[in-house]
A and B are shown apart, each in its own frame.
Chain A
């Protein structure tokens, strides 16, 4: 998955130039490569949508009360709200980074990327430390993965999402590092765009996951 993103991320920043010396065939323009990359990226999102959809289906299939009603376990609502806000905010800065490089504002571009990565990391820490309770000495979590379907689905959904956030943060830092070395221009920055739409996509997934985990259904006591 990360490999796909990286293929789309960087290939053709160089491709159009590097291919010229082969000379035998007319190579497509950078714009054409970007169109292909963009389509590939969206198809990749379509594919991933089915993964997240499967997890949502699992949640609504398994979280049922004694009379078949939709239920949810009691989680830390404050933690959920904070990490959601942090993630939504990060998408603003990701967008700011993309607009900045398109307008050749390099300093803003780099700063926005760093802020996005920091917010993404904050989201990860929020989930892993606060909600999961991976470090019980700091915060004690509400559920364990072994707590029936409640633990399984909470950890399954947030875990799969966190994995995507983590790969997004790695991608952003990679783009930031390349940007600092002078890669990307206002004309040619498919790598930044790919990274940005990937980040927005991961954000969008959370917009569906957050209510499914935290808001929908009546709460049910989960004994440990």
Chain B
């Protein structure tokens, strides 16, 4: 078996070839126009576009569609490839949502490690004042890199959970559009490669937000960064479209929207945001990209009438911030809603009690999603936009606390009086609640205009943001990994190691996030490579050191988890079909799940969360005659 039977190897070759062809094409056109043959920026940009197409062609994700354009039928192949070992399907185009879910998750964890490593590097730099080993440009590229890589990783994690779980939870055979599903995953690979490659062509030293005018004048790396984001954005759009159609059209008879497992509601709300808002980050980046490439002055404030005042025909960098945050604020709800869904999903299982206020939780996800569209301006309180805009954005932002509060109280109501089992997934769920509470309580402080002014662009924001991301995504994601590991592999992870991971990571994270907020209050600015050691009455260096040590402890915990999974995936103790005694459909079938998940169409026979109610079930695959 040669290496090139693996789709990903062919894809990488395709990406390199695409890049070369794109560059040659650019040179050829320039020669035809009578210009100098080589110009670095257009060559890299066109090369990068072609490299994405090259990867997709190489990996084979477009094969079926190309056949359709010729009218050739393409029967859907189920099961592992016939002439290759079964494991190769994870490295090639495969249409089974369970394979794609694992692909998303593994690629997401890989990026999580890359992003984490980058964070370790600049945290080490920050442990002491002064510049030790990072230059200013590289520091800036690294913080931007940490931000964007982590966003990619989170989107992949969200995609992984959604793709793997949603069809199983609603008893669907697969996603509505399996080919589109595969394409959605494979967009991510060339996208993340472009992002990493951009470091070698100058990086992007204005950070992940890419505000013009800095990004419009920054190094070539920005063009590759924009294209990387386009690729991930396309993945988001097609993935969310697919999930929405799956949820809306593929539920079995009897599973009304308010009888779905609650996680599906979270995915539904997230997908609505992803489907629509993602276009805005694409548009804003495209505008910067063409401003760089052909001088279209969307954000270039120089007017066309010369010195006439006020300027006429000049672009406006603040417009970029509006367009950018119209996606990038809802994006944080895209990141946290599935995580909060996992919390709601797991609490009843480990508390052995019904979920408190199902409809309220379901609708609160939707409410967070809808309110999320009208709060973007709180990122711009100090941007210099029209003063009067601050007030509605402040109130809209504070409004988010209400549906979020609904979730918290419903979680408390679920745990209250339950027979709680403290297995590792449950520990991470409880950790998520504690951490998200820190993030949630610091939110209104930043949403309120007068208290935001002194804290804006300080490390306090960094602390708040990391608490929401860890509480809303990382902890629930880890809970989900531990919880569904036995379902995916059929083996049990090592419970002791899992608990050690939890008890290292949770206190470490508290230290990290509160430490970040602390140095922020002392006067530490975000995105700055160096700081004044006399800040905070000379205490800031020890706080920074504590944050750095806590960061390394979290990384150690994550490594422990990955080692735990790696050790037990093949040879761990057999887990049985339903180790958590869950009522959810995916636990009523064998582990690992066979190629066709359900032997017969699901029938809904009860409520999803009636834990503790004797002799009741949620779904059955038996036909009515068997009763």
Contact = CB atoms under 8 A, between A and B. Distances in A.
B183 interface: yes
Most buried by A among B249, B304, B305, B313: B313
A141 to B, nearest CB: 14
B279 A156 contact: no
Closest 3 CB pairs of A and B: A148-B313, A148-B304, A10-B68
Interface string B591-617: 000001000010000000000000000
Interface string A193-214: 0000000000000000000000
Given A47-B275, A148-B304, A178 B297 contact: no
A46 B303 contact: no
Interface string A58-72: 100110111000000
A43 B275 contact: yes
A156 B250 CA distance: 39
A147 B295 CA distance: 9
A4 interface: yes
A158 B586 CA distance: 49
A45 B278 CA distance: 13
Interface stretch (B155-163, B238-246, B358-366, B519-527): B238-246
Contact of A174 (B69, B176, B319, B601): B69
A39 B276 CA distance: 15
Given A40-B241, A150-B304, A223-B305, A145 B296 contact: yes
Contacts of A174: 69
Given A4-B180, A148-B300, A178-B71, 5 more contacts: A6-B68, A10-B69, A22-B76, A146-B294, A149-B313
Contacts of B74: 14, 18
B601 A26 contact: yes
Contacts of A178: 71
B323 interface: yes
A55 B177 CA distance: 29
Given A36-B176, A148-B315, A223 B304 contact: yes
Contacts of A9: 68
A62 B319 contact: yes
B283 A47 contact: no
A48 B279 contact: yes
A54 B315 contact: no
B138 interface: no
A222 B73 contact: no
Contacts of B241: 4, 40, 43-44, 47
A217 interface: no
B212 to A, nearest CB: 12
A36 B319 contact: no
A19 B245 contact: no
Contacts of A61: 316, 319, 322
A152 to B, nearest CB: 4
Contact of A148 (B242, B250, B284, B314): B314
B399 interface: no
A108 interface: no
Interface residues of A, number: 57
Interface string A1-17: 00110110111001101
A34 B245 CA distance: 12
A54 B62 CA distance: 29
Contact of B78 (A22, A62, A155, A181): A22
B313 A222 contact: yes
A19 B296 contact: no
B280 interface: yes
A138 interface: no
Interface in A164-188: 174, 178, 181, 183
A81 interface: no
Contacts of A21: 75
B310 A18 contact: no
Interface in B45-89: 62, 65, 68-69, 71, 73-76, 78
A105 B55 CA distance: 42
B245 A156 contact: no
B290 interface: yes
Contact of A18 (B73, B291, B296): B73
Interface in B261-316: 275-280, 282-284, 287, 290-291, 294-298, 300, 302-305, 308, 310, 312-316
Nearest to B71: A178
B441 to A, nearest CB: 32
B225 to A, nearest CB: 19
Contacts of B71: 10, 178, 181, 183
A30 B177 CA distance: 14
Contacts of B73: 14, 17-18
B237 interface: yes
B65 A3 contact: yes
B275 A51 contact: no
B79 to A, nearest CB: 10
Contacts of A49: 276
B237 A155 contact: no
B248 interface: yes
B464 interface: no
Contacts of B237: 47
30 contacts: A3-B62, A4-B238, A7-B177, A11-B179, A15-B76, A19-B76, A25-B173, A36-B245, A39-B245, A40-B176, A40-B245, A43-B245, A47-B237, A47-B241, A47-B275, A47-B279, A50-B276, A51-B283, A57-B323, A62-B298, A62-B316, A145-B294, A145-B295, A145-B296, A147-B304, A148-B300, A148-B304, A149-B313, A152-B297, A156-B290
B35 to A, nearest CB: 16
A36 B249 contact: yes
Contact of B75 (A6, A18, A146): A18
Given A6-B69, A58-B319, A146 B296 contact: yes
